Amino acid sequence: MLKTEPYVLNMGPQHPSTHGVFRMELLLDGETVVDMRPIMGYLHRGIEKLSEERSYTQCIPFTDRMDYLSSMTGNLSLCLAIEKLAGIEVSERAKYLRVIMAELQRIASHLFGVGTFIDDCGASGTPFLYMLREREKLIDLFEMASGARLTYSYIRPGGVMRDVPDEFWPAVRRFVAEMPRYIDEYEQLLTGNEILRARTIGVGILPREQAINASASGPVLRGSGVKWDLRKADPYCVYDRFDFDIPTGKQGDAFDRYFVRVQEMRQSVRILEQAIRDIPSGDPLPKVALFFHPPAGDAYGRSETPRGELGFYLVSDGSIAPYRFKIRSPSFINITALCDMVVGWRIADAVAITGSIDIVMGEVDR
């Protein structure tokens, strides 16, 4: 058998409009990956340090610019930490609105994540455009609520920035009624597709124990068969009032991670149906001042974002700004398992495996 000389191939950094400015330094034997070194930091903006010089409310826009594909859940995670630190109460209507926005955001993010993953597998064109079609409807809903289409800053400490307008409700009900049919359409195109299955089944396996030891979360962890979701394991807002399931995979390959995201969209629709039906009347606006002084102490708040557990650890010295602001981002932790997932596979497989993790570099680098 011919023995070739190993060589190094740099993949990336890619344009931010793809998976972000991330570089993989691959050691190859022919086309087979024998080692990989992830290189990040191209998008570092010093968010943690910048937040220590601003009031708690002024930190909210930073969360929009971390995982910019799921800004609402970034807002929510930080607000949960601030409210725990300062002992701020949130009205029932605001909690329901937060759940509605978080689940709409989960669907929007998974649409983009699945679409780009399919693109990475070589199926460019139709499936991704179908998913962007539905995502555009969601962005219209977010624009109704917040006035923005990408960086929302909608969820604030103590509530939300404003109640949704009257025209929001018929539009969101129409979307929720139509979405299951569109998910069926995606599955008809993709789930049984023999080319996609050949490219993803058994490829990039992350075993259950390895996923746990790597502290993975979100669809990456659940794709490996671990039934862990903060909405069930450590409920926040009003998630304990809703009936929904936690989809999991079987062997932790790229196909399982894709399939979990598709099934999570179905579960988000279930949650939305219940939340829209049960939302109470009332005032969802915050009842706290723009500048407030939490007591000295610390708190950790977290939520289940589309990519996993996003947590904020805050330390207060009693001033209007956090003394310490530390972020636990799921994309950063999930990507640490990438080396184990790509070694032994070919270059083209490394692209698909990376896409199956669904990283956002704004959250990795911060």
The token pair at 54 is: 């601003």
Amino acid (one-letter) located at 243: D
Helix (H) / strand (E) containing 342: helix 338-342
Tell me the C-alpha distance between 252 and 21, whole Å: 26
Helix (H) / strand (E) containing 89: none
Tell me the C-alpha distance between 41 and 316, whole Å: 28
SS3 284: coil
Amino acid (one-letter) located at 185: E
In this prediction the pTM is 0.93
Q: How far is CA 282 from CA 54, 88, 157, 162, 289, in A?
A: 30, 17, 17, 12, 19
Looking at residue 2, what is its pLDDT? 63
Using alpha carbons, select from 82, 100, 107, 179 the residue that is nearest to residue 146.
100
Is-contact 64 47, C-beta < 8 A? no
CB neighbourhood size of 106 (10 A): 25
Looking at residue 15, what is its pLDDT? 56
Amino acid (one-letter) located at 39: I
Q: Which domains, from first to last, does the chain contain?
A: 44-329 (1.10.645.10)
Looking at residue 216, what is its pLDDT? 93
Amino acid (one-letter) located at 13: P
Looking at residue 11, what is its pLDDT? 83
How would you write the pLDDT of the chain (366 residues) with one tens digit per residue?
566 788 888 887 765 556 668 888 999 988 889 999 988 888 888 999 999 999 999 999 999 999 989 999 999 999 999 999 999 999 999 999 999 999 999 999 999 999 888 888 877 778 888 899 999 999 999 999 999 999 999 999 999 999 999 999 999 999 999 999 999 999 998 888 888 899 999 999 999 999 999 999 999 999 999 999 999 999 999 999 999 999 999 999 999 999 999 999 999 999 999 999 999 999 999 999 889 999 999 999 999 999 999 999 999 999 999 999 999 999 999 999 999 999 989 988 888 898 899 888 889 988
The token pair at 42 is: 């191209």
